[in-house]
Amino acid sequence: MKALNDCYTLSNGIQIPCLGFGTYNAKGGDNLAINRMAIEAGYRYFDTASLYETERVLGQAVRESGIARKDFFIVSKLWIDERGYQEAKDAFERSLERLRMDYLDLYLIHWPRGKEGDTDWKEKDLDTWRALEELYKSGRVRGIGLSNFLPHHVDPILKNCHVTPVVDQLEIHPGYTQEAAVRYCSENDIRVQAWSPLGRSAMLEHPVLKSFADKYEKSVAQICLRFLLQKGIIPLVKSSSMERMKQNQDIFDFEISWEDMSVINNMPQNTWLGEHPDFAVPRKKSNPEQ
């Protein structure tokens, strides 16, 4: 990967940019300006979800950009209470309506299970996946995949699917590299994407990463993103300033040595900074119709 919109080829043959722009936790008028700014900064891969309530403003920013829809890579996700065969199909239609688009590049199941004690999550995920397979075969989505699915969540789908997942989004950053999950995905030709690639900013003051930032004359954030890029993982970055948006792209002109990559890989592991798909009760959407 040599530039922002250089692409990997997913298992079904479609091209996906090596760096994405995430829209989580930013909605309304300010987010419209942020999305416009991100497009101006050169981002073409945008990640949204029904949970984020950012689909409408993202769609507006894309339309107003004057850039052809085919030049963007747009991903959305269905939420926990949208799992199920018909529920997933309905959720997909709502997402397209909010985006005002007629297809998606990727559509993902956002979360594998509900609250702890959700005993029928495997059946619900399989029903959901069957709906996504039909949407994929219809041509209205170019690829289907998963988010926050650990190996034991992915396995039932792989054992029963006709169309395999092409991606899995996981919390991955220095200090939380999820080696077992990444290895499992690699063995099954599933491209891993990293949400919270900076560890929700918790890694920015880490002394090991700061020492490498000094060594390579880069920021700690750029070290985190380059680390993931060299592992073949797609970071999903966020920023509200043009300066940071540009800095997050400035990771293609240096290479972290094998030795330094090993040091980062073996940093003491911290805990999952977001909600864990097996042990946390995820928050509900504030407005299902947003």
Burial of 263 (0-12, 13-18, 19+ CB in 10 A): middle
User: Strand pairing partners for 145?
Assistant: 108
Catalytic residue of the set 52, 107, 136, 176: 52
Q: What is the DSSP pairing of strand 7-9 with strand 45-47?
A: unpaired
Please state, in angstroms and rounded to a whole number, the distance separating the CA atoms of residues 48 and 74. 8
Q: CA-based diameter of the chain, in Å?
A: 53
Q: In Å, what is the CA distance from 253 to each residue of 6, 9, 32, 230, 238?
A: 14, 22, 30, 12, 21
Please state, in angstroms and rounded to a whole number, the distance separating the CA atoms of residues 101 and 51. 18
DSSP state, 11? Answer: T
200: left (phi over 0), alpha (psi -120 to 50) or beta: left
Q: Cβ of 151: how many Cβ atoms within 10 Å?
A: 16
Q: Is 222 helix (H, G, I), strand (E, B) or coil?
A: helix
Please state, in angstroms and rounded to a whole number, the distance separating the CA atoms of residues 60 and 32. 8
52 is catalytic: yes
Catalytic residue annotation: 52
